[in-house]
Amino acid sequence: MQWAHDILVIGGGIVGLTTAIRLREAGATVAVYDRGEFGREASWAGAGILPPGNPERAVTPIDRLRAIGAVEFPRISTQLRESTGIDNGYRVNGGIEYLFADDEYSLELWAHEGIRFERIDDDRVPGATAYHVPVMAQVRNPRHLRALIAEANRLGIGLFPNRGIEAWDRVDGHVAGIELADGSRVFADRFLVAAGPWSERLLGPLDCHLGVHPIRGQILLLNAGSDAGPTRIAGKRYLVPRGDGLVLVGSTEEPEAGFAKQTTSGGLADLREFANGLLPELTTATVAGAWAGLRPGSPDGLPFLGPVPGQDNVFVATGHGRAGVQLSPGTARFLADRMLGRPTAIPHDAFALDRKPTAPARPAFRS
């Protein structure tokens, strides 16, 4: 059996779905294929931290991408609630950033963007200085994904779960379609690979080797019984209180785990120790759950957004690492503009697949 679409998106995580919606809103016919259920990988597992931002004043392309998300998330959340009836849990609960000496470069970037922050008297994290960032927000990932899926359905986007892409169908080197596990083929004008850390395998046959790899992150969910206040971030670790008594404690960074998605007793014990040390009242909190997800890492910490060199109808959106949720609205806008041949708000080369390797990115926020 064959179908034909303007655009076929491979991967129904937050990046694929948000971009599909943007493309559909612009008038394209779109289908999204996932080898499993939609939004059950990193996009489901993430903590949903959304730092503030101002796209007009953000200094670097990656900070502009994040700042677009900061501005768009409240609008998107309201729109999704009105059109689907699903509340994605977006709320501004404020944050406390515990900055070590190496992280203090952020202060200048925040000031340049006009982000509000204030040094506070809090010595809970030895060796770090605490800053209150009042406009730090959060979203509840599983709810947001449910809302995106409902919105995609409402807009008439073709959604095909449990249909993994196995191979490319090429005619004279030009990609014309994809092949599914059952051997059936699907044709489209343009393709978007948004398959998280699995993108690397899909792109190999197109002679595209980006170095995208899985970075496991574990999360421990505690039930504190009451709201534990603002989000607290210290280096790679954080506490994200949900407002209903639940507190997410994250996260490990384990590239060595490869594609193994299970939690480990050592990882969860570390997270518990971090939580108890930061907020001693959590010592009595009960464990409500634990899980792990695979972030799509890139060699320089920046996402890859744009066409595959030599294949002008195959585009890529992956490598968002720790920040794919906050970067999803900016990514969707950038990719939709590129795929539809419109001018982009951010220069193309910033996230190009054939960019020259540079020192690891130093974004204004690390979570």
Ligand X SMILES: Cc1cc2nc3c(=O)[nH]c(=O)nc-3n(C[C@H](O)[C@H](O)[C@H](O)COP(=O)(O)OP(=O)(O)OC[C@H]3O[C@@H](n4cnc5c(N)ncnc54)[C@H](O)[C@@H]3O)c2cc1C
For residues 63 and 57, the answer to whether their CB atoms sit within 8 Å is no
Report residue 328 as tokens. 């999803």
With CB under 6 A as the contact rule, the residue among 47, 80, 285, 308 that binds ligand X is 47
With CB under 6 A as the contact rule, the residue among 5, 22, 24, 35 that binds ligand X is 35
Rounded to a whole number of angstroms, the distance between the first and last alpha carbons of the chain is: 44
Beta carbon nearer to ligand X, 232 or 322: 322
- Tell me the H-state helices in the chain: 14-25, 42-45, 61-84, 105-113, 141-154, 199-203, 265-278, 328-339
Q: Give Cα 48 distance to the centre of its chain.
A: 9
Nearest approach, Cβ of residue 49 and ligand X (Å):
3
Beta carbon nearer to ligand X, 126 or 152: 152
The three-state (H, E, C) secondary structure of 38-67, written as one string:
CCCCHHHHCCCEECCCCCCCCCCHHHHHHH
Please give the Cα distance from 65 to 305 (Å, whole number): 11
Choices 151-159, 271-279, 314-322, 345-353; region in contact with ligand X by CB under 6 A: 314-322
Q: Does 322 bind ligand X (CB under 6 A)?
A: yes
Please give the Cα distance from 230 to 137 (Å, whole number): 9
In eight-state DSSP terms, residue 39 is T
Beta carbon nearer to ligand X, 10 or 152: 10
- Is the CA virtual torsion 52, 56, 60, 61 positive or negative? positive
With CB under 6 A as the contact rule, the residue among 20, 34, 64, 278 that binds ligand X is 34
Q: 26: Cβ–Cβ under 8 A, 6 or more apart, which residues?
A: 336, 340
Report residue 152 as tokens. 């995609």
Choices 74-82, 102-110, 315-323, 333-341; region in contact with ligand X by CB under 6 A: 315-323
Q: Does 41 bind ligand X (CB under 6 A)?
A: yes
For residues 52 and 68, the answer to whether their CB atoms sit within 8 Å is no
Beta carbon nearer to ligand X, 215 or 341: 215
Interface mask toward ligand X for 239-268; x: CB under 6 A: -----------xx-----------------
Beta carbon nearer to ligand X, 184 or 284: 184
Distances (CA, A) of 210 to 66, 95, 239, 327: 22, 34, 32, 19
Beta carbon nearer to ligand X, 158 or 250: 250
Nearest approach, Cβ of residue 71 and ligand X (Å):
15
Choices 6-14, 52-60, 92-100, 274-282; region in contact with ligand X by CB under 6 A: 6-14
For residues 245 and 252, the answer to whether their CB atoms sit within 8 Å is no
Beta carbon nearer to ligand X, 127 or 360: 360
With CB under 6 A as the contact rule, the residue among 9, 128, 148, 202 that binds ligand X is 202
Please give the Cα distance from 210 to 353 (Å, whole number): 7
With CB under 6 A as the contact rule, the residue among 53, 293, 306, 307 that binds ligand X is 293
Choices 126-134, 146-154, 220-228, 322-330; region in contact with ligand X by CB under 6 A: 322-330
CA angle (251, 213, 220) in 5-degree steps: 15
Q: Which residue ranges make up the site for ligand X (CB under 6 A)?
A: 10-16, 33-36, 41-43, 45-49, 164-165, 194-196, 198, 202, 217, 219, 250-251, 293, 295-296, 318, 320-326, 367
